[in-house]
Each structure stands twice: as structure tokens, then as C-alpha cells.
Amino acid sequence: MKHHKITTIALLVIIGSWLIQPSLARAGEDSGLLYQPWFKHSDFDLRKDLADAKAVGKTLAVLFEQRGCVYCQQMHDVNFKDDKIIKFITDNFSVVQLDFRGDREVIDISGERLPERILARQYQVNGTPNIVFFGKDGKNVFRMPGYAEPRIFMAVFEYVNEKAYEHSSIQTWFKNRNKKS
């Protein structure tokens, strides 16, 4: 009886710890990726995701991550815990999360059906995290490869939101922005 009681308690502790850790909730189809509740619930049709983003005046951002990525973990633990960053992203962007090594079928903006890992290769994603931003016309307008500390991370989203990529490199934009402040 004592063994049964310990097993039941251990099971409850495991289930309880799983339920109270929202940052560890599974992304669609149990991909094992870290997940945020404000990520777009995608049907893995990027054409539809782009249309949905445009319809509400947002920019589509495709976030590639992979299981065990320490920099992805850091992005979730640091950047995605900052209320100012989350508010700015959710106000201006629709974020779709994909698995850099995943096998789930995705429909690309061009209409091609392919696994996530092949799509990542086509978008020249070589590591994680990696965020690919799309303009309203479906063209890749900017990419943020790797982890960036919160100030730079936020600046990249501001750069894309302002469409500054149309007239300035991010280095020039950031330099000029810092002169003003």
C-alpha cells in the first residue's frame, strides 16, 4: 500500500509540473518545441498564414527552432518573458513556429508542399533560432539568424515593422536610431 501511495504522489507531481509550465507546452502535433500561447495556431499553410496576417495589418514572421537548442531556450526564457517585447510582437506580427528538423508537411507561400526541414533549407536557415520575416507580397524581407539579447531582438522587430529594410541596412538604421536617442 505504501508503494502504491508513493507512485500515485510521484505521478501527480509529474503531471502537475507539466501542467504549470506553459513555456514547455507542445507546439502543434507534439513537435517537442518550446511554445508560447501567442504564437499563431497554423495549419502549416504559409499562404493562409500570410493572408491572415495581412488581413489584420500584421507582418508574418516564421520562427524556426529545434529541440534541445540552448539559444531557443534562452529566447523563450529571456526575450519571451519581457512584456514590452511580447506586446510589440503580438501587436504587429503573426508568428508561426516551425521545426528546423521537422517532418510535418508545410505549404510554402509559393504553394509547394514540403517537410519543415526542407523548407528551412530553401529559406537558407542554417541554425536556430532563426526568424524569417515576410512582406505583404510574400517575399522574404529580412531574417534574424541566431539569438539576440532583448535590446537587439526588439530593434530587429522594430526595423521590420517600420519597413526600414526598404531604404536602409539594419546597421545604418540602428546607428542612426541610436544617434537620435
Which pTM does this prediction carry? 0.82
What pLDDT is attached to residue 30?
56
Rounded to a whole number of angstroms, the distance between the first and last alpha carbons of the chain is 68
Residue 2 pLDDT > 60: no
Q: For the ranges 16-30, 70-84, 92-106, which has the lowest average pLDDT? A: 16-30
Residue 165 pLDDT > 60: yes
Walk me through the domains of the chain, giving residue ranges and CATH numbers: 25-180 (3.40.30.10)
DSSP, residue by residue, the chain: -HHHHHHHHHHHHHHHHHHT-GGGPPPGGG------TTS----SBHHHHHHHHHHTT-EEEEEEE-TT-HHHHHHHHTGGG-HHHHHHHHHHEEEEEEETT--SEEE-TTS-EEEHHHHHHHTT--SSSEEEEE-TTS-EEEEEES---HHHHHHHHHHHHTTGGGT--HHHHHHHHHHH-
What's the grid cell of residue 98? 516551425
Q: Quick: pLDDT tens for 141-159.
A: 999 999 999 999 999 999 9
What pLDDT is attached to residue 1?
54
Q: Quick: pLDDT tens for 91-132.
A: 999 999 999 999 999 999 999 999 999 999 999 999 999 999
Q: For the ranges 9-13, 80-84, 161-165, which has the lowest average pLDDT? A: 9-13
Residue 27 pLDDT > 50: no
What pLDDT is attached to residue 178?
79
Mean pLDDT of 167-173: 94
pLDDT band at 6 (very low <50, low <70, confident <90, very high): very low
